[in-house]
Structure 1
């Protein structure tokens, strides 16, 4: 028996201590920990159950008594060792020497956290009790579910309490301990209904029936059926207990005496004796059941908890990189810090312009966007070419009447050719300028984002960089527009290398022959738009003219398809980022502005501090989990048995 008890305590205490230590680190701010949450409607006997388990009196009364979540950590001490208690909340911590002090200290804590009166708070009060008379167990007591607000309570007090309870029991790591009086219809209790909403299969819900001495005659068998799990099925089942009533408290019946009376009640009860014999009744049996449930729950949760901690640590580290380091206090070091940040930003800006990978985890899809923009520019040219081809096919049919002079068939009037080409090129000028403005806006936005990422937490530095980016954008946009308009003026000079033109014209003629073969060699006399007849010879002349026009437009189109993006990229990317680098570094020469530039945003400073604390908590938690895994308490293979 002693070896069995020793084995039990060797496996139980370390598991519970591990989770308690993680909770004391504050890890629950970052991720959910295995826990048992006690919930129940008002006057369900919830406080009586906790008193019976802990051996100390907790706040009692009508209405809402538990106004803050109470973490009740019970640690069994060896026989003969003294009782010890400790209460902690917010930044307060106090040792307790006498069990009679507990109720008063909890009320004081609730008044400080939830205000004097009947309000509630979601901040946790931690009560630690070490005694030979308590089980190794940690429970979280939650406010009783209120249906109607009483004097002094907010109208939505019921909703507030439900939201608080849901915050705990929704977590998959939490076992819901639902306390229900025997003298009410269990199916109508709000607490069980809430537990079923978040745990419809009852896999992590355990029911406790209280007040069996108040059961109406004739309903005892129904209570037995509930505990036997045949009315509303819960995989963890039910227990039944009889705690001190209000009359016994007034008579100052001790908790030890109450436990003896409880045992006698069940053993002598005509209906409930079977529940006692089967181990479903009394507070001591409940304590054993809860301890085993918690330890098994912890064992099952630990592998996932390890994974969660690793993932959260990686996420926290990534966030810390995003917020960067805090500026040093030393004046000289601060200048060096500023130079490093600005240099990193300008180097990334240069890399952004050249399409290279950016440092420090920065991501940009700018070149993908620009490729789409320049591809759409090429599509604009091609659409213009299609329109041009349709227009010249209509116009050349009227060529004989309007333009033909003394030249023989097969010769083209150069002025006509030049005029038609120039007219088409002019139509592309404004779309090119519009494309410049669109790209300039894209580049500005990407550089703005880069500044925000590079100078997180330094609003003055971000603003200074963005002002320079905007000023440079305007300057380079004007320069680029001037170059583009010059390009279009040059394109009005109809020119290309003879060899290039001859090659393009030859290709066009071969395409024309293929079209001719495809339609067959049938020659027809075609009517023009004004019903005049166009001869076969004239038609040949006009086809030759179209070949010349289409061939030259292809050359111009290819030239503009490349040249316009080159001008835009050169001015809006290369030139802009080079000038930005120069001006940002020149700005650092003004030492009087250094302090203003390094003025940090309070929210970012607080966020960095929060992340640092989170990282420290999680790092300590990982170490404790590793230590636990390495010792002899194997949570993966432990098969616990209860000592008698």
Structure 2
């Protein structure tokens, strides 16, 4: 088995694993999908386009359901495995892995039965694929996905949305950038109205991913042919069109052998006056080989990015599973340990909120810094110490005997009644902090990822925490009220002893005021003022002491002992009760199960790829064929599609080549490949390293080399001459790093440029094995950048380029690691750049 055959088998196995574990594309974002990253060939066509006949011709067996209306109602992933000559043919379904089908009429029946099992006997469709593997010496290694035929109207028995449903399903496949589109169109229909081509044009406007197939060539009206389509004049694709001659309905009814049908197809093309010159590139056998070779090259190119996706997805899945937690043990000891660990995780987050590691604890300070002072300022002391109320309280305190010197009892009653107002703000501060702590408990439980899967434990933990906080609140209220009561129980004597001294400093009131003044308004105003001053002093004291009491009794206790009572209760629980506490949210259990299955898929895929890494590295050549420029000089052409001009003919000492698939719409320009022919009589072991400078194909070749490069594959000069005489040879090739000693990346301003309104330039001498996929042109002063367009090949252009000296940034993608990185030229293009100038970037890629 060659490396490429192994790679196709590798993707086949990963696709089967995807289906078994529930990943069949069309992801809604809830889970990562590997299916959509895998290269595949999707077969697209309208009903009665000959799609089934093409597939059966490729397989060489009559095995697909037939009939009117929608026959294909589920995607059929058809995996073909080439076996040794003489080996028996058989088929296997993924859903019936232990049964080998040698009777292909039973394969047809099982496809129908399996479709009905999913969709019922109705004409509904389902996106869940059927996997069918066929092992035969008459096939090539290839994987095809047969999709429901596109239709324009719903017929009886079909839902009204069937047209949109089918197109939506087909789009989920063909919109993937790694999907190769096999667009089937009948020859007796105008290509402009082909459903398959219309859809392919929408999702692949450049035609890079589309292979066009024209069926029913033998049914065209007499005097007409499909040459305009097959030769790319009607609608041009990057890949060649292939014509197919299907079995007639009479042949199908007579069960004409598929091998006979293949032979008749070959005879039709070779004897046809219209198509004989294309006979080598027509027919189902050629199509199968063409697709197999292209799929191999796409898989080879995508392996690094697929590996990168798999590794990243494994990390993401394991990270989420760690957040959700692993399955719980069944023994009581392990369950108790789990509960205590979960409580500790919650307690840690709760303390982080209080200590400032997480937001929320600052709200407690807000109670002390804003709410409490504001409440103290709003107490109704003005009304309580009004002249009228002071007179009333003092008079009532004196009783029948008026006070002699100072109304001490009146003072005490006024102070005690005033101090009672402080109880309200004190209790409100306790309640406000209690509310904040309860809210922080709620938030902390929600932020404890490990708890999310246990709603019962969350509820019990919250209830226990709230109960503890209630206890702390009660104690805090008692403490703060004691602070207020202590102020009432013992007044600060020194404050009042200073009052007479202050009066004396102002003069002796006995010498200035009659005794009757002690009962005047001025007397009562002084009493109110003295009491107000004392209350102000107490207010300031309580403003400072209440927060200390609250923090001591509530915050400190919450940090130290929030879960002490809960721990005691949990320790007394029986095994059954512990198990009930660890009951999980069914949605989380389902999520963990899905993640575990997807993780199993990705790890399986990683193991599959890892098992082939040594083989891939040891034998990473791709089989193909090559021709050479027969009408050119020794070197390459000076008018190649990459836009290098005369430089392209001499680059790499003239060891250059045109490429077909590897041209990649210009992205492949400048890429280097080691190419060696396979004829042991003439070919050297190392072959030649060439650079892509042009686009072109000759027959089924991947390369059209310069004459010099073609001859360089020979063991000797004479062997090289013999190769040139052959003109067409089998080869194997692989991407290698370009190497230009003592050269930096260079920019050649194209002659078509028009300073300063339009600039176009080519990029020369890029080393390494990455592709330049984007280029930016930036002003060096204000760093304003413009993204350039790839005009063609290696030519990058922009209208109205930035002014001043210009800096060039290049995005390099692919390579061995599959990563992307920007490279910035060390040297700038000067402000006065001119057409034809060449500028050294000052940088090179290792």
Give TM class, smaller chain: 0.7 to 0.9
Matched, 1:292 2:282: no
> Are positions 1:81 and 2:79 aligned together?
no
Of residues 146, 162, 172, the one that matches 1:167 is: 172
Q: Does 1:318 align with 2:319?
A: yes
Deviation digits for residues 451-509 of structure 1, max 9, x if unmatched? x83483x6xxx4256235315514532541551464156247669xxxxx99xxxxxxx
Alignment correspondent of 2:217: 212
What is residue 336 of structure 1 aligned with on the other side?
333
Pairwise CA distance, 1:22: 1.8
Paired residue for 2:13?
Answer: 21
- Tell me, yes or no, if structure 1 residue 121 matches structure 2 residue 126: yes
Distance 1:399 1:166 in 2: 85
Deviation at 1:157, TM superposition (A): 2.7
What is the aligned partner in structure 1 of residue 257 from structure 2?
A: 254
Q: What CA distance in whole angstroms lies between the structure 2 residues aligned with 1:553 and 1:219?
A: 107
Residue aligning to 2:435? 437
d(CA) in 2 for partners of 1:226, 1:562: 89
Specify the SS of the correspondent of 2:116. helix
Aligned pair in 2 of structure 1 residues 215, 430: CA closer, same or farther (>3 Å)?
Answer: farther
Separation (CA, whole Å) in 2 of partners of 1:428 and 1:233: 85
1:179-198 correspondence runs (5 A): 179-198=184-203
1:369 counterpart = 2:372: no
CA contact (8 A) 1:210 1:241 kept: yes
**Counterparts of 2:42 and 2:110 in 1: how far apart (Å)?**
21
- CA deviations on 1:193-217 (whole Å, 9 max, x unpaired) are 4444444444333222222234457
**What is the aligned partner in structure 1 of residue 66 from structure 2?**
60
* SS of corresponding position for 2:132: strand
Query: Structure 1 residue 266 and structure 2 residue 269: aligned?
Result: yes
Tell me which moved more, 606-615 or 432-441.
Answer: 606-615
Q: Does 1:282 align with 2:283?
A: yes
Shift of 1:136: 1.4
**Does 1:307 find its partner at 2:308?**
yes
Structure 2 match to 1:5: none
Kindly tell me: are residues 439 and 188 of structure 1, through their superposed partners in 2, closer, same or farther at Cα, counting changes over 3 Å?
A: farther
CA deviation digits over 1:270-291, x for unaligned, max 9? 54445446x3x32222112201
Q: Are 2:244 and 1:244 aligned?
A: no
Aligned to 1:158: 163
Contact 2:346 2:445 in 1 (8 A): yes
**Deviation readout 1:173-209 (Å, 9 max, x if unpaired):** 3222221222323343333344444444443332222
Give the conservation status (yes or no) of the 8 Å contact 1:354–1:574: no
TM-score, scaled relative to structure 2? 0.58
CA distance in 1: counterparts of 2:613 and 2:82, whole angstroms: 23
Match status 1:619 vs 2:596:
no
Note the 1:406-555 alignment, pairs <5 A: 426-427=424-425, 429-430=427-428, 432-447=430-445, 450=448, 453-454=450-451, 456=453, 462-463=455-456, 466-467=459-460, 469-474=462-467, 476-484=469-477, 486-487=479-480, 490-491=483-484
The normalised TM-score by structure 1 is: 0.74
Q: Counterpart in 2 of 1:505? A: none
Q: Secondary structure at the match of 2:460?
A: helix
Following superposition, the deviation at residue 151 of structure 1 comes to 3.0
Aligned residues: 570
Is contact 1:349-1:577 (8 Å) kept? no
More displaced 10-residue stretch of structure 1: 549-558 or 245-254 = 549-558
Higher helix fraction: Structure 1 or Structure 2? 1
Residue of 575, 578, 586 corresponding to 2:572: 586
* Alpha-carbon distance between aligned partners in 1 of 2:364 and 2:256, rounded to the nearest angstrom: 88
How far off its partner does 1:43 sit?
0.8
Given that 1:77 and 1:131 are in contact with CA atoms closer than 8 Å, whether structure 2 keeps it comes out as: yes
| SS across alignment from 2:125 | coil
1:577 aligned partner: 563
Instruction: Point out where structure 2 has 5 or more consecutive residues left out of the alignment.
Output: 24-32, 395-404, 406-410, 489-493, 496-527, 626-700, 702-728, 731-846
Give the strand-richer structure, 1 or 2. 2
Which structure has more relative contact order (CA 8 Å, sep 6+)? It is 1
For residues 602 and 437 of structure 1, the distance between their equivalents in structure 2, rounded to whole angstroms, comes to 31
**Whole-Å Cα distance in 2 between the matches of residues 582 and 196 of structure 1?**
70
1:76 deviates by: 2.0
Kindly provide the CA deviation profile for residues 64-105 of structure 1, in whole angstroms up to 9, marking residues without a partner as x. Answer: 112222121112223x32232222143554202244543233
Runs (5+) with no aligned partner, structure 1: 1-8, 357-363, 408-412, 496-500, 503-541
Change (3 A) 1:193 1:489: farther
**Greater alpha carbon shift after TM alignment, 288-297 vs 595-604:** 595-604
SS of the residue aligned with 2:333?
Answer: helix
Say if 2:162 is the partner of 1:176. no
Per the TM alignment, residue 16 of structure 1 is displaced from its structure 2 partner at its CA by: 0.7
Deviation of residue 31 (structure 1)?
A: 1.1
Mean CA deviation greater in 102-111 or 548-557: 548-557
Deviation at 1:305, TM superposition (A): 1.2
Query: Is the 1:67–1:120 Cα contact (8 Å) retained in structure 2?
Result: yes
Tell me if the contact between 1:377 and 1:432 (Cα under 8 Å) persists in the aligned partners: no
Distance 1:113 1:352, change over 3 A: closer
- On the 8 A contact 1:228/1:238 being kept in 2, the answer is yes
